[in-house]
Amino acid sequence: MKDKVIVTNNSALKRKYGTAGVARINSALKKLIAADAKRGISTVVVALDDAATMAGLVGLAVQRVTDEKANKAAIDAVSVALKPDYLMILGSVDVVPHQQLTNPAYTPPNDKDKTVPSDLPYACTAPYSKRIGDFVAPSRVVSRLPDLTNARTPEYMLKLIDFAVNPAVTPVAAVRPFGLSTQSWQVSTNLSLRTLFATANAANTSPVNGPNWTQAQLRGRFHFINCHGAQRTPQFFGEPNNYPIAHDAVWLSKRTRPGTVVAAECCYGAELYDPVRSKGQMCIGQTYLSDGAAAYLGSTTIAYGPATTNNYADVICRLFLEEVLNGRSSGDAMLSARLRYVQSAVPIDAIDLKTSGSSSCWEIPRSIR
């Protein structure tokens, strides 16, 4: 049994970064393994494409990076053989792909997502399937440490691994939370904030506030964001008044403290797009990680939530932060939040299923104390 298993795909990393780049990544991972050992954590790295390694784990190597079924089977084999307390997917979707699940809420033009890109199946013992309903009972602690999709230099990945080697120390009650909402959703957002942080002030709202936040405003260890998002876009947006920019990755960079935990209930807030397709700018979530955020929870698709009450994305984001506040690691918090969400959604509907499947946790492991 291992405490932590890091799974990746060496051939995919080599195509992105070349032999020298992979050597640098492997060197960084060795430092992480040594640092974890000093913290009493047993860590191992498994290349899902390595035939000998996978045979030793009674599994089959992934031969094509894009083969979702093979990746699911390989991670299942690793989990059964090594029984890790925690499994981290190292790399973006061009290294270990999302599972493309059928969207049960697909109703164009209202919901145009035919599929739900998801890491949820990797957290479940159920076999490969396209149905989100087959994955309502996750039992594994799984999160992802994503590099930049289609990147050609490993600097971003190396930076995140170094954050894991040298963890941030941020006291739980160091500073008040940062809340951000569209003006039209502020009742719902403030309800979430009051539930989580009894003494929290009302959320900042867009329009009126943002996106040029000061470092003092962004110092909160917990960020709760309820705004609009869009595909391949490094901004979140307010409402009404023609969707003003509320949060901007370009402005955000280098203004948040290491150890920040973020829950963003914004459409496509956890979409791992190629930054080249957005004028070279990485998404907001990866910008947070670049500044040393401990964890980021977002949606890979359209997200749902009412204006004056809490439901769907409101609930899973709140549950995630509740579990972190109660002392769980962010990966464990994601597992508990998923289970609590499904248990509370009775009867479970199509949007509940989509919300569970699309919620994605990115984490710099063991980065807060």
Q: Check whether 366 has a pLDDT greater than 70.
A: no
The average confidence (pLDDT) of the chain is 95
Indicate the domain borders of the chain: 4-97+141-165, 178-363
pLDDT tens sequence across 77-104: 999 999 999 999 999 999 999 999 999 9
- CATH 3.40.50.1460 describes domain 178-363: yes
* pLDDT value at 280 more than 80: yes
**Residue reference for tokens 């979707």:** 93
Calpha distance 144→166 (Å, rounded):
18
pLDDT for the residue 346: 85
Spatial neighbors of 41 by CB under 8 A, at least 6 apart, are 3, 4, 366
pLDDT at 368: 41
pLDDT digits 0-9 by tens, 322-331: 999 999 999 9
CA nearest neighbour of 83 among 2, 6, 138, 144: 2
pLDDT in tens, 147-184: 999 999 999 999 999 999 998 766 655 567 999 999 99
Mean pLDDT of 361-367: 81
Residue 350's pLDDT band (cuts 50, 70, 90): very high
Return the pLDDT at 266. 98
Q: What is the pLDDT of residue 167?
A: 83
Contact between 366 and 36 under an 8 Å Cβ cutoff? The reply is yes
- Which has more pLDDT, 201 or 341? 341
